[in-house]
Amino acid sequence: MNPADIAPVAPGDRRQSPLDLFVIFAGANIVATTLQVGAALAADFGAIAAVALIAAGAVGGSALVASLSVLGPRLGVPSVIAARAALGVRGAALVAGLLYVTNFAWIAVNNVIAASVGSQILGGPGAMPIWVVGLGLVSTAVVALGPRAVGLADRVAVPLLLLVGLIITWAVVQAPPAPAAMRQPPAAPAHWLRGFDIVVGYQVSWILMFADFSRYTTSERAGAAAVFFGLLLTSLWMMPLGLAAARVAHSADPGAMMAAVGLGWAGAALMVLATITTNFVNIYMSGLAWKSLFPRAGAQSAVWSVGIVGTLFGLCYGTWLDRYAEYMVVLGGILVPVGGVLVAHFRLSRTTTHVPDLYDPAGPCRGVLLPGVIAWALGAFAYYVASSWGGTLPALATAVVSYLLLRRRLAWR
């Protein structure tokens, strides 16, 4: 199977089981960044409030991604191609270009986090480059073998992640709580909205892979359930775990949290395995984006170029970790409104999508479809205006409403 094929998947080739789809999303979400979401809430919220925010945000964000995942089995095309129905060929090309570039940063951040923990156990600080390069090359090699190889690798990696995660869970439960953290005053109302924004915004960051893997599954209902539970269950586990570990460590740093709960090899194993499974998704998505921009490019060159460049970016250790928060804000403002436009087009309007039109440069999806692009821009503006207290929900609402109004009022496709 071509590892970066943007052509429609024939119904007879949609043989991926819901279990494989579940483990792909679960493996991508059992990662240090998911722990960090819970850890980010530890400084501002009590335990009960933080867990409530995690539950609400995880359910809402997972449902949003799952609601679009039905388009994979329905259309059989990757996400960057499906987006052409709402944004046009050139509008979707802009999304593909942004996805391609931003995934370099995701790959780099994941590699650096895992390498920082792994090098503490084996090799010391001087081994950081070896860890970064090794993790990047292993992830890329598996993706180059195709989606089936990713599914098989995840079948091995995810159970190991679950085992290591259970060990870490037990260590956190046994660790003494931090008394100072337990005496936090109640958070202000605005902080509640911001806390919800952190959780749901992280879940929505998966929205642009809604059809990339589900297009190999036959059943829309089973595929949506696999995506929903793959994201939800791992979030309901890993985010509270990160919250508890941050309380024990008095810090949201991954290495400090693992050290505080007395874990060395188990913590490193989680970070390494989680980095590899998450990079499967990042590299594959970027390979598809590149092929949508340059259809004549070879699939292997697309995959390896993404993996290698992302790995090289990871060699700038401090830059990505120091700028991580800024990167998340920029990424959220760009990508969350796209999700709103796609939800409005595919789930809330009565538009029928014809797959051949998505590939026809002279068809109805040619150029830029202004309702979608304008709604995207308005949603991004709403995100940044409301970012001080929580931009995800305003951005989604603005993008959805403005898209529906523009299409109805101007009668644009």
Chunked mean pLDDT (size 10), the chain, 413 residues: 68 86 84 82 82 92 91 90 92 84 78 75 78 83 75 71 77 65 47 78 81 89 94 93 84 73 70 73 75 75 80 71 61 83 89 88 87 94 85 89 86 49
How far apart are alpha carbons 284 and 342 in whole angstroms?
A: 21
**pTM of the full structure:** 0.79
Structure confidence at residue 147 (pLDDT): 66
Give the residue among 388, 370, 368 at the shortest CA–CA distance from 378: 370
Structure confidence at residue 74 (pLDDT): 92
Structure confidence at residue 186 (pLDDT): 46
Does domain 13-318 sit in CATH 1.10.4160.10?
yes
Sorted by sequence, the CB contacts under 8 Å of residue 129 that are 6+ apart come out as 315
Structure confidence at residue 176 (pLDDT): 64
Is the CA virtual torsion 328, 212, 155, 64 positive or negative? positive
Identify whether the C-beta of residue 139 lies closer than 8 Å to the C-beta of residue 292.
Answer: no
Identify whether the C-beta of residue 291 lies closer than 8 Å to the C-beta of residue 4.
Answer: yes
**N- to C-terminal Cα separation, the chain:** 34
CA dihedral 107, 43, 228, 25 (to 10 degrees): 20
How far apart are alpha carbons 278 and 273 in whole angstroms?
A: 9
